[in-house]
Homo-oligomer: A and B are copies of this chain.
Amino acid sequence: MTSFESDYNNGAHPEILRKFIETNAIQSASYGYDQWSESARDKIRKATQCPNAAIFFLAGGTQTNATVIDSLIASYEGTLAVETAHINVHESGAVEAFGHKVLTLPSHNGKMDANDLQTYLKAYHTNPTWEHMVYPGMVYLTFPTELGTVYQADEIDYIHTICQQYNIPLFIDGARLGYGLMSDECDFDLPWLAHHCDAFYIGGTKVGALCGEAVVFSQGNAPRQFFTIVKRHGALLAKSRVVGVQFDALFTGNLYFHIAQHAVEKALQLRQIFTDAGLTVRSSSTNQQFVELSNFQMEILMQHILFEIWEPIDETHTLCRFVTSWATTDYDMRELINAVKTIQLPKHKNF
């Protein structure tokens, strides 16, 4: 059955597999010192226009968030994030496992509002009991957000400026970075982003790789002994080629961006299919689309295609998530069109 469940239920982009085959017989150094990791670093330095960037490859997103956050702040500090942030909801407390509180700000359609941030930091620093409260030591954003929305350049710029004013780092979780950058609504590019935060990661797992995330400290500002911190988090890969090879492939000939662009195009087609059928699709310009379905519609649709139940809207309606990837085909789109026909609203009937 055609699946739009997630961007991690398919294999690797064929170019990645090809590269595995091509390199398999070659011996290499390990623990991040292999030649493909080095090559991938060079390519990412060019793609980000950060010639001095310090770059590390980890296996997955939760691991990367916990490791980088733990490396950026002192043990007694916390990180600011919106309530819907992945680290606050869906990472099983991996940040807290290392002793750090997640300090929450309201979510505005998945995004942090710079004014909320400014207010929080000002209040903290003038609060008479501040010494008894967790120090807000950094800011965590996701781009694109968990709801598929994208920040505008001026929004990130404002947040970054506030961080600099309070001398705390800004870290951007880019698990789906490519899809955000390829969104029509995105008004900046990768080099711009790399120069408007202290650290970020380029998600591989959800953008065509089998696994792997590339952490970038844009200005070469890796925390002291970051290698050891990675190891302490259980995040160091002995055969680091397993991620190095993949990122070397992803950053050859703009593959990373082509994969993302393809998925976004398919997502917009998918969106159109639903809106054409008279259904409400929440605002998202990336590869995740959130469709409001009656529970009856949902159950019928489930018999034809696979997708994810996101959350209940009310007693009789549910928000459902449809996700595209490098592997989404025209055939999948036709299957979707046929499936949606089964729930399409006739003019005179009331579902």
Contacts and interface: CB of A to CB of B under 8 A. Distances in A.
A134 B62 CA distance: 13
A338 interface: no
A21 B29 CA distance: 25
Contact of A74 (B6, B210, B224): B224
A224 B167 CA distance: 14
A168 interface: no
Contacts of A205: 237-239
A158 interface: no
Interface string A227-263: 1110111111111011000000000000000000000
B133 A90 contact: yes
Contacts of A63: 234-235
Interface in A113-142: 128-129, 131-135
Nearest to A1: B27
B17 A76 contact: no
Contact of A211 (B128, B242, B327): B242
B24 A12 contact: yes
Interface stretch (A91-99, A266-274, A281-289): A91-99
A20 B97 CA distance: 34
Given A10-B27, A96-B100, A225-B135, A238 B60 contact: yes
Nearest to A10: B27
Contact of A129 (B74, B90, B99): B90
Contacts of A100: 93, 96
A199 to B, nearest CB: 17
A292 to B, nearest CB: 18
A191 interface: no
A76 B232 contact: yes
Contact of A70 (B60, B75, B102, B131): B75
Copies of this chain present in the complex amount to 4
A28 interface: yes
Interface in A278-298: none
A76 B30 contact: no
Contacts of A237: 59-60, 205, 211
Interface string A331-350: 00000000000000000000
Interface in A1-46: 3, 6, 8-12, 14, 17, 20-21, 23-31
B101 A99 contact: no
Contacts of A25: 11, 327
A149 interface: no
Contact of A27 (B9, B14, B20, B135): B9
A212 to B, nearest CB: 9
A98 B94 CA distance: 11
14 contacts: A10-B27, A11-B25, A27-B327, A59-B60, A75-B75, A76-B92, A76-B232, A94-B231, A94-B234, A101-B102, A131-B227, A132-B228, A210-B241, A210-B242
Interface of A: 3, 6, 8-12, 14, 17, 20-21, 23-31, 59-67, 70, 74-76, 78, 89-94, 96-102, 128-129, 131-135, 205-206, 210-211, 224-225, 227-229, 231-239, 241-242, 308-309, 327
| In the complex, the 3 A-B pairs of residues with the closest C-beta atoms, listed nearest first | A63-B234, A11-B24, A92-B231
